[in-house]
Amino acid sequence: MKHTLSVWETVDAWLGWVSVGARLVSAAICGPFRGPSGADSYHHHLIQAVLKKLTSRFSPLQLQYLFKSYDRLYLEHCRKTGIEPNFVSNERGLKGFWLGSPTAKYVVINFHGGGFATDATESYLEFWPEVARTLSDDGITTGWFNVTYTLTPHATYPTQFCEAVEALRSVIEDLGRSPSEVVLTGDSAGANLCLALLSHLSHPSQDAPALKITEPLKAIVLLSPWLSFRDDWPSMKDNEHKDIDAVEVMERWAQEYLYGRSTNYYIEALEAPETWWEDAQVEQILVLAGTDEMLLDPIKAWTKTFSKVNPETTLIIGRNECHIAPLVWPMFGDKHETQQGLALKNWLGERLRT
């Protein structure tokens, strides 16, 4: 169901910028006194302050109203780069667009993050194509299908899960691509969907259409995956003033995604036991995180469990990097290469070369 803002909510969305500006001024004044419990740099301190205020001050609908959709950003990217837009949709719920050719050596299905509530930003159309260019320079061609799944509150679980399943089904069955030529990538909530898909391939869920594959997927890349909706992890407290996320916002967006449903292993991958992952249909997985992110502890806990039965699992933690640092810092002018971004390029280059 399509939700829209009321007149007052629309007016309030614009008025909200006043509080965002006030928070920026406050953060600018307090920044020099943040101490070791704060962000690693003054610039990053300002970034996390602004993002926390944005997500706490505005509702998901207001954020969707104030910022451009991923589809619109893609059209602008196509005009800027001179490429022909290639949108794909079908009656089964598939929605997305291509960057690169569907006939490339590997197809990468990318699921953006945003707590299931917000769209991707322009930085996604800078970072992921840069990854593709790096691989291309190494002789590895990739076609990227970017899934534009339905956001909350317009739909809740399992809609996004079903749309993710349809994306993979379409690539394998409609395009005739072998699973060994398919890579899944996702950040935060998008990484959550990657693991929901991985679970579904071994343990079909009644919440989504059945999908069987004949061989494991080539690889999965999880950038700052959202694996647990709990808020009692030590890293939640330790990194509270370093990261871009706010606990109350994460709790609210998680509940909006659940919409009264009980959780399960397709929603919170960390809840699944070690035996659940014994038949995981993927050759290898890369997990990326930052030392300064609130989700660090659940990421480490899940990786430890998963790697016990899937040894081709790599965890790389970027020092002094926050949640989805390779994607969020460039939004605010910090375009230096992150440790996570460099590790991702190197890992994919090594694993896709063979």
Per-residue pLDDT tens over the stretch 128-179:
999 999 999 999 999 999 999 999 999 999 999 999 999 999 999 999 999 9
Residue 1, pLDDT score:
72
Q: What is the pTM of this model?
A: 0.97
Cross-strand bridge partners of residue 97: 87, 146
Give pLDDT tens digits for 98-117. Answer: 999 999 999 999 999 999 99
Question: How many folded domains does the chain comprise?
Answer: 2
- Could you tell me what percent of the chain has a pLDDT over 90? 99
Q: Are residues 121 and 60 in the same domain?
A: no
Q: Are residues 7 and 144 in the same domain?
A: no
| Cβ–Cβ < 8 Å for 224, 296 | no
Residue 10 structural domain: 1-67
CATH number at residue 196: 3.40.50.1820
Give pLDDT tens digits for 180-218. Answer: 999 999 999 999 999 999 999 999 999 999 999 999 999
Classify the phi-psi angles of 89: left when phi > 0, otherwise alpha if psi is within -120 to 50, otherwise beta.
beta
The DSSP call for residue 33 is: G
Q: Are residues 40 and 189 in the same domain?
A: no
The last residue of a domain, from among 67, 82, 102 = 67
The DSSP annotation for 41-53 comes to SHHHHHHHHHHHH
Give pLDDT tens digits for 211-251. Answer: 999 999 999 999 999 999 999 999 999 999 999 999 999 99
How many angstroms separate the CA atoms of 116 and 325, rounded? 18
pLDDT band at residue 354 under the 50/70/90 scheme: confident
Q: Are residues 55 and 142 in the same domain?
A: no
The last residue of a domain, from among 27, 44, 67 = 67
How many angstroms separate the CA atoms of 114 and 253, rounded? 9
The last residue of a domain, from among 42, 67, 92 = 67
Q: Are residues 26 and 135 in the same domain?
A: no
Residue 113, pLDDT score:
99
How many angstroms separate the CA atoms of 216 and 200, rounded? 13
Phi, psi dihedrals of residue 157, rounded to the nearest 5°: -55, 135
The Cβ of residue 171 has, within 10 Å, a number of other Cβ atoms equal to: 22
Instruction: Say yes or no to pLDDT of 329 above 90.
Output: yes
